[in-house]
Amino acid sequence: MSHALPAPCPDEDVVWRLPETGSGHRLSLLVLPHAGGNAHAYAPWRDALSAEVRLLIGQYPGRGARFAEPLPTTMADLAGPVVHALPADADDLVILGHSMGSLVAFEVARALTAAGRPPRALVVSACRAPFLPNPAKVYPDRLTDDELVAAIKERGGTEDGVLDEPELREIVLPSLRADFALDDDYRHEGPARSLSCPVTVIGGREDPIVPVSALGRWSEVTDGPCSTATLPGGHFYFQQQGERFFGLLEDVLDRASAAAGRGALV
């Protein structure tokens, strides 16, 4: 007996478009979540951003309105639908990813660059450069549910209430396993400098998952400038350093907006 694949989700379910708080936007910020994360976790960022910035958030397969879709097995399964679902007027785009989301962000930026639509900037947070092996593999296929939950709690970023509630845990664990398996194995094997946009790298100084020494090599993925900043904290440092984190992000957005006004990249 054959089973039909679920129909593709509408673009609005793949890339959330949060309501704008002003009369218009000067550029768009696309945020791509961490392994096991979903768009809901980043929706509160709307309140921390300038009203002139349109917030777009990627939603991965296996969660939210995309729950019935097959779970991702390649990074293309995460990045491809996002590229397709971007609004037509998102040419002035800054892309940001956190942890595994930085690898998705790199693939989205690479696809847009290859299509002649490079982003204005790429911001990567708490992640190794894409051509480096994962320094903190989870090996989810080797872990029981309880062991996987313990590993996720140690990293932070996921509400313990979700992981401690048996019914909720049963819902989220499959996508967590799929994401961490991807994050474990992903390495970019293509051309080294496949981007042209500026890259900003941010990490936590006490991050046990991605050491500060692994951040600087993002400079090798772009022909544009690359800068690195660190803030106190661990893998989800921005949860304690929100004001400083969004200050750094607003600087990137301001530079990208100025470049858009000049019709050139910075």
- Tokens (6 digits) for 204: 């936590």
DSSP track, 128-193: --TTSPPSS---GGGS-HHHHHHHHHHH--S-HHHHHSHHHHHHHHHHHHHHHHHHHH----S-S-
Q: Is 235 a catalytic residue?
A: yes
What are the pLDDT digits (tens) for 126-183? Answer: 999 999 999 899 999 999 999 998 888 888 766 656 787 888 888 889 999 999 999 9
Q: Which residue has the tokens 């980043």?
A: 42
Is the pLDDT at 9 greater than 70? The verdict is: no
pLDDT band at 262 (very low <50, low <70, confident <90, very high): low
Q: State CA 70 to chain mean position distance.
A: 20
What are the pLDDT digits (tens) for 27-71? Answer: 999 999 999 888 999 999 999 999 889 999 999 999 888 998 999
In contact, 72 and 60? CB cutoff 8 Å: yes
Task: State the catalytic residue, choosing from 99, 102, 125, 175.
Answer: 99
pTM of the model: 0.91
Task: State the catalytic residue, choosing from 25, 34, 98, 235.
Answer: 235
